[in-house]
Amino acid sequence: MEPQLQGQVETLTKSQIRSARKKEIWKNIKKNKLIYLMILPGFIYFFIYKYIPMYGLVIAFQNYQPYLGITGSEWVGFEHFHRLFTGSDFWMIFRNTLVLFGLQLFIYFPIPIILALMLNEVRHHMYKRTIQTLIYIPHFMSWVVIVSVSFVVLTLDGGIVNGMLEYFGFQPINFLMNDSWFRPMYILQVIWREAGWGTIIFLAAISAVDPQLYEAARMDGANRIRQMWHITLPAIKSVIVILLILKIGDVLELGFEHVYLLLNASNREVGEIFDTYVYTAGLRQGQFSYSTAVGFFKGIVGLILIIFANRLAKKFGEEGVY
C-alpha cells in the first residue's frame, strides 16, 4: 500500500473511532438521563459559584482598584506573593494553621472511626439509635451556638467549670483569654460538633461487610476485638484512605467561622490562621489583591497535597480519589 493511501486509511480509522466513541457517550447519556438530571443541579452550582469566580484570581497579580475593574487595574506580577512570604505574619499564621490541622488529623480524625466501631458492636437497636441521635445533633448547630455554649460554660463570670474549680478549692482559669487554652478548646469543640456526623460514612462502610466473614471468625475462636481488627478495619480501609486524602487536601482550610469566633487580642498569636487573615486583610482592610494572593496560595498547597497523598495511596495499593 502506498504511504499516502495508508495515511488516508489511518486517518479514516481514527475518525471512525472518534465517531464511535461519541455515539457511545451519547448512548450512555440517553440511557442514564435521569441520573444525569440528578447531577445537573450540583454541576450548575459548582460551575456558577466555584469555576466562574476563578477568573477573579487574576487580581492576585494586580494592584486591584474596584473603580478601575479587573481589566483596568495595574499589573504587578508576583508582588503580593513576595509580600506574603516575606511578611512578619506569614510564619505565624502558617504555624498556627499547621498546628490546628495536626490536631484535627491526629486527634479528631480517628475518633469517628472509633465511634463507628463501638456503635457497630452495640446489639440493642433502640439504645444504638439513641446514642447515634445524641452524637449527631451537635452537627446541626452552627458554630455560633457551639462557641456561645462554650463561652457560657467556661466564662469567669458564673461559668460552670470555674464554679466547680472554686468549689473544690482551685483557682479559676480564664479559658477564653488564655492563649494556652485556645487549641484545646478548638479541638474539643470540633470533636463535639463533628465526630458523631463523621461516623455515618464509616457505619455505612461497616454495614457492607459480609456477615459470613464474622461467622467464620467466630468459628475459629476469634473474639470481638480480633474480629474488629482483622475483618472490620481491613474492610473499611479504602474508605479511611479516601477520607484521609481529602482531609490532607484541606490542610490550610480549617474553617473561618469557628476560629474567628474564638479569636481575641489575647490569643491571636496562637489562633490566627489563613482564613481569618484573608478576612481581616481583604474585607476589613480593603486589600483585595493581597488577600486573593493568600487564598490562591492556600488553593495551590491543597491541590499539591491531594495529588501527593493520592499517589502515595496508590503506591500502597489503595484506590485513591481518582
DSSP 255-319: -HHHHHHH--TTTHHHH--HHHHHHIIIIIS--HHHHHHHHHHHHHHHHHHHHHHHHHHHHTT--
Tally DSSP H helices, then E strands, for the chain. Answer: 18, 2
Domain positions in the chain: 78-315
CATH number of 78-315: 1.10.3720.10
The yes-or-no verdict on residue 15 having pLDDT over 90 is no
Rounded to whole angstroms, how far apart are CA atoms 268 and 260?
Answer: 10
Model confidence pLDDT, tens digit, residues 276-285: 888 888 777 8
The yes-or-no verdict on residue 12 having pLDDT over 80 is no
Share of the chain above pLDDT 70, in %: 93
Distance of CA 193 to the CA centre of its chain: 14
The yes-or-no verdict on residue 43 having pLDDT over 60 is yes
State residue 321's pLDDT score. 60
Run of H or E including 77 = none
The yes-or-no verdict on residue 233 having pLDDT over 80 is yes
The mean per-residue pLDDT over the stretch 96-118 comes to 91
Model confidence pLDDT, tens digit, residues 184-225: 999 999 999 999 888 988 988 888 888 888 888 888 888 888
Task: Kindly give, in sequence order, each residue whose CB lies less than 8 Å from that of residue 79, ignoring residues fewer than 6 positions away.
Answer: 63
Model confidence pLDDT, tens digit, residues 242-269: 888 878 877 777 778 899 999 988 888 9
Provide the sign of the torsion angle of the four alpha carbons 175, 94, 101, 56, taken in this order. positive
Place of cell 490541622: 101
Amino acid at 64: Y
Which cell numbers hold the place of 152?
Answer: 457560657
Model confidence pLDDT, tens digit, residues 147-178: 999 999 988 887 889 889 888 888 888 888 88
